[in-house]
A and B are shown apart, each in its own frame.
Chain A
């Protein structure tokens, strides 16, 4: 506690007064309390408002004015200069620190990437996650549609599709049944059959002919799981052992349209119903909205993985994010397997040991 006191600049006497409202075992009056905090208070509002204008005015022109005023002005100006200098110093120190931290993290992630690599083999991925006690049932990722190539080599539609395929393969290997891919522009929604085709091809390189079955869908669009992939376990030939049953992966494509705009659409529909007398506004509750959005868009994901260096949601459907675990790797850039793996470890609250 005492160590904390030093950093706050509050005396023990004051902190007791603050906590208990008493000094030396005696209740404080309103007046006494006010006296106590007086020296930490900011200036009167009228005075503080013209501080900036004061500092910006050049000093020379003020010479003919009275001395009294100048004396009053001086500390403000010196303080202002001091603030600017300190801000420059602090910003510089931190920018050096941030850069160092970024390179440190980069090196660390490279090391992890060497130690943990999937080698396009589901068995490797399964071994990596074997010890995890819980896995998400619904995994979600936020991807970017990069217009220009930045040094990840995942620019344009092809790069995006490539990322989706890889993530889908890792998800399938980990045994997670549902993957939702959020991408702001929703460009992939126009290419659902092609997406299905390339994911299937990628799954084939991972699993060989015994690849999991796949369906790709997007809200308001039909699910795409062509008859090429044999029908799911409903087929009658179940005479083999139960392991013959192939797992199924559903990939859900989301875009910014499925976020706030869908909420607006729902409101519009509800409004129309209310106008026609089919609905009372009292009947609208969070269960109703939740049920509607669950059917129309998606369920709440258990884990959201970001591959961006910072956490910004870029328009991800707000309603669905209520209790979702949000994972990001600070300063990470681009999709990579070790970020995916670390997200799963974080979700299972497991320690990831370097060098197994």
Chain B
């Protein structure tokens, strides 16, 4: 009886207006305080633990997802008020389609409902200045849900202050594969070289002629010899010489040959595959143009990436695994993570500073 009385008293107290007002003020204060330190530009969340939370509290799985959505709303408020630019959430994996049809349908219905509600409040969304983007395989989504998605995306597209990435049938391997595909596509479509070169006042044969001349003058003897040898071997074919000169220059600066792999014959010309870099692939990822991922948080104690942001978090991202379940996740769990991140960031900066000063000192000594 005693404990029941206590819990009732506590619930009465915790739902009394002054307490709620006080807590809200405290939250605002803490958020404002957090803003004084460095803030991660890009944060990703794996929202894990909705189902286990439902099981632990003896409620329906769908209700667990609903509570998870509330946790998301709370945490988004914290993120955007502290000044995080991009938040990426793992809402639905392609693998999740393997779950029970009942659960998948309920999740889809929830997504549709929430997105439709969101679309009704366009003016309010502008205050947060966040634009919604959907990352993932659109073809797998039901058309009616897709419609709600597109509406919400279109409505917020003009907002520039912050971005909310919703990974909605997404897996990272799928993302990487698509990026590779896009790159291959871009590099294997012929470029209309004739049109491009005719616009400019320079002739490419003229330039290669100059390069060849320069190389004969400046390049060490053995290189000049090989060039001469190749000429003597096939004195008539200027085409081959052309390409060999091009190959030489591409070693030093790819810019000359790569932009337009000029081919005198009628064969289609392509971009040079050697100019593909990690940036090319990064720009073909779904998160192209966004700041690098600074922080990745996964709840519910599972220490795995589970096919999420593999490409993005491979190097400097701080990955944090938390024991709490996602519906329980709130400012009180997120605050220590952010403060620790700020602390580490401060230490990293100090380390860099000392190493730089040491480098300078060593340079002075030598």
Contacts and interface: CB of A to CB of B under 8 A. Distances in A.
Interface string B305-332: 1110011011111111100000010111
A19 B70 contact: yes
A43 B14 CA distance: 27
A289 B310 contact: no
A266 B180 contact: yes
B172 interface: yes
B273 interface: yes
A5 B32 contact: no
A86 interface: yes
Q: A-side binding surface: helix, strand, loop or mixed?
A: helix
B226 interface: no
A87 B33 contact: yes
Nearest to A93: B339
Interface in B258-296: 270, 273-274, 276-278, 280-281
B121 A30 contact: yes
Interface string A76-96: 000100111011001100110
Contacts of A155: none
Given A98-B340, A267-B276, A83 B36 contact: yes
Contacts, number: 217
Contacts of B127: 41-45
Interface residues of A, number: 76
Contacts of B336: 94
A83 B29 contact: yes
Nearest to A256: B315
Given A263-B176, A284-B180, A319-B173, A91 B24 contact: no
A34 B306 CA distance: 37
B177 interface: yes
A87 B319 contact: no
A256 B307 CA distance: 20
Contacts of B360: none
B77 A290 contact: no
A19 to B, nearest CB: 6
Interface stretch (B145-153, B184-192, B227-235): B184-192
Interface in A26-54: 30, 33-34, 37, 40-45
A70 interface: no
Interface in A204-240: none
Contacts of A110: none
Max chain A Cβ within 10 angstroms of own Cβ: one of B29, B305, B307, B318: B305
Max chain A Cβ within 10 angstroms of own Cβ: one of B11, B33, B277, B344: B33
Contact of A268 (B17, B21, B273): B273
A322 B307 contact: yes
A290 B274 CA distance: 22
Contact of B81 (A42, A267, A316, A322): A42
A23 to B, nearest CB: 15
A322 to B, nearest CB: 5
A2 B11 contact: yes
Contacts of B126: 45
B336 to A, nearest CB: 7
B185 A281 contact: yes
9 contacts: A6-B23, A18-B73, A41-B124, A41-B127, A98-B343, A271-B276, A281-B181, A286-B174, A323-B306
Smallest CB-CB A-B distances: 9 pairs: A6-B14, A9-B24, A2-B11, A274-B188, A86-B33, A87-B36, A9-B23, A311-B319, A271-B273
Given A9-B23, A322-B172, 6 more contacts: A6-B14, A8-B74, A21-B117, A268-B274, A289-B176, A315-B315
Interface of A: 2-12, 15, 18-19, 21, 30, 33-34, 37, 40-45, 79, 82-84, 86-87, 90-91, 94-95, 98, 259-261, 263-264, 266-272, 274-275, 279, 281-282, 284-286, 289-290, 310-319, 321-327, 346
